[in-house]
Amino acid sequence: MMWWGPGGGWGWGDWLAMALMMLAFWGLIAAVVFAVIRSAGHSPGPTHANGPPPPGPGGDQARRILDERFARGDIDAEEYRSRRELLRSP
């Protein structure tokens, strides 16, 4: 059997299937390349097993954030003073 389909050639369904398979193939290739490039840009941070955890906001940064919140009016003077005292205590 040398040719497929009636009339000895490919029908429109065969061409459509071939086009969809090529589209799926190149889409898969593009997805793999995208995933590799995206994962190469993100290096995992240190974990507890590999070293110390990443530092959280330090005392100076926490005080600066507290000052900004007070300046914006997010917190009142009483709350500002109590939180400031908490930051000063060890």
Helix 59-72 and helix 77-88: axis angle, to 10°?
A: 180
Distance in angstroms (rounded) separating the CA atoms of residues 25 and 22: 5
Instruction: Assign 43 to helix, strand or coil.
Output: coil
Domain assignments of the chain as residue spans, ordered by start: 8-41, 59-88
CA dihedral 9, 13, 19, 22 (to 10 degrees): -90
pLDDT of residue 3: 57
Distance in angstroms (rounded) separating the CA atoms of residues 44 and 28: 25
- 9-45 pLDDT, tens digit per residue, is 778 888 999 999 999 999 999 999 999 998 887 665 5
Mean pLDDT of 65-79: 92
pLDDT of residue 60: 81
Distance in angstroms (rounded) separating the CA atoms of residues 70 and 11: 74
Comparing CA positions, the residue from 8, 30, 5, 7 lying closest to residue 16 is: 5
